[in-house]
A and B are shown apart, each in its own frame.
Chain A
Amino acid sequence: ETGVTQTPRHLVMGMTNKKSLKCEQHLGHNAMYWYKQSAKKPLELMFVYSLEERVENNSVPSRFSPECPNSSHLFLHLHTLQPEDSALYLCASSQGQREQETQYFGPGTRLLVL
């Protein structure tokens, strides 16, 4: 295990539902990330939080709303999603401000939007 946990591991939701994905890191890191992994596409960065502030936002639709209440927890709130949002959502964390820092990933949440 990498020290990054994600819940739930699987989620099925309708387009009118509201749900949240949770990520928790036990590594003492100060940066956290959300990535989307779709079939046959490279991993896409969604959001980056550093010291609980959002520092990158990769043009993600507003139906995805991140929240970082402290340096150990990261949420992704989902609202009125579309079927094309079905994917594996990966959380990662890293330590420090330097570019050479390594990101450690959680196991992901497999999301299916019906």
Chain B
Amino acid sequence: AQSVAQPEDQVNVAEGNPLTVKCTYSVSGNPYLFWYVQYPNRGLQFLLKYITGDNLVKGSYGFEAEFNKSQTSFHLKKPSALVSDSALYFCAVRDSDTGRRALTFGSGTRLQVQP
């Protein structure tokens, strides 16, 4: 079975500081990992994904994520946070072994960037 955990309900960071939003996963095969962002009253917007290859994945809006197989983690990072980054962030996983097309999502982490 595939599962994903986001251990922090909320992350607070000052504008200009680096940010990290944590995600850990569990799969039986190879993981396909995704990050999405949701702004108020909007759907989910795709940020980036890890399929294979380089462990550091770069995505939209200056975000990047690091795949760590030994720690089964895929943390989202940005070197310098903006107030406009304040939103709800979701990590998602799909397991290569299950053959399922649907994603399993974490519970979400609310990022609050203070001016």
Of the residues A42, A45, A105, A110, contact of B102 by C-beta under 8 Å = A45
The answer on a CB contact under 8 Å between A43 and B45 is no
Q: How far is the CA of A33 from the CA of B49 in the complex (A)?
A: 19
For chain A, the bracket of interface size reads 20 to 34
Q: How far is the CA of A41 from the CA of B105 in the complex (A)?
A: 10
- The residue on A at minimum CB distance from B96 is A99
Interface size on B, residues (CB 8 A): 25
Distance (whole angstroms) from the CB of B60 to the closest CB of chain A: 12
The answer on a CB contact under 8 Å between A106 and B102 is no
Q: How far is the CA of A56 from the CA of B105 in the complex (A)?
A: 16
The answer on a CB contact under 8 Å between B32 and A99 is yes
- Indicate whether A99 sits within 8 Å of B46 (C-beta atoms), given known contacts A42-B106, A105-B36: no
A103 on the B face (CB < 8 A): yes
B87 on the A face (CB < 8 A): no
- Indicate whether A104 sits within 8 Å of B46 (C-beta atoms), given known contacts A42-B107, A45-B102, A56-B101: yes
* Chain B residue contacts of A70, Cβ below 8 A: none
Distance (whole angstroms) from the CB of A74 to the closest CB of chain B: 14
- The residue on A at minimum CB distance from B99 is A99
Distance (whole angstroms) from the CB of B27 to the closest CB of chain A: 11
10 shortest A-B CB distances, which residue pairs? A105-B43, A105-B44, A43-B105, A100-B51, A45-B102, A107-B43, A42-B107, A42-B105, A100-B32, A108-B43
